[in-house]
Homo-oligomer: A and B are copies of this chain.
């Protein structure tokens, strides 16, 4: 038996995602035994910034956080900018915080957390361009490879993926965190 056997992890994204920030954590959680599900406001096939194609498993309007053990938000500036404007995506994201479930966020994936208003008092990192936005939304923003704050795992860029994946698998394995809350 592997660490995440029986766990279900939602990946929420749209077109313009940072390719490796989908494929690398997806590989890490599935290799650890979890089932990964691609949730999106779009249907059909999504295309990453560098051309990687990924098939959407479920529309975000039909998805419920209660069906998943954790959420991963990949980056990519276009993906991050679009996703935050979708109200269902914002509500789906917020629901993981309300349920105290682990959330992994990397690069430009963090913008939607400001729209979901879930970063107040949380320590986290992101792509550096989001620093002011996350601080203004109440986060304690730090410049580190990976930051873990009660089930919230965050990293800055694709270079941080090895550290991000390790902590992500660890936090999902631990399950719900009381202080991971909206």
Contact = CB atoms under 8 A, between A and B. Distances in A.
Interface string A69-85: 00000000110011011
Contact of A137 (B77, B78, B136): B136
Contacts of A77: 77-78, 81
Interface string A106-137: 00100100110000000000001100110011
- Chain A contact patch, size range: 10 to 19
Copies of this chain, whole number? 2
Contacts of A81: 77, 108, 129
Contacts of A132: 84, 114-115, 133, 137
Given A77-B78, A78-B77, A136-B136, A84 B129 contact: yes
Nearest to A133: B133
Residue of A84, A108, A136 with most chain B CB atoms under a 10 A cut-off:
A136
Nearest to A127: B81
Interface in A54-102: 77-78, 81-82, 84-85
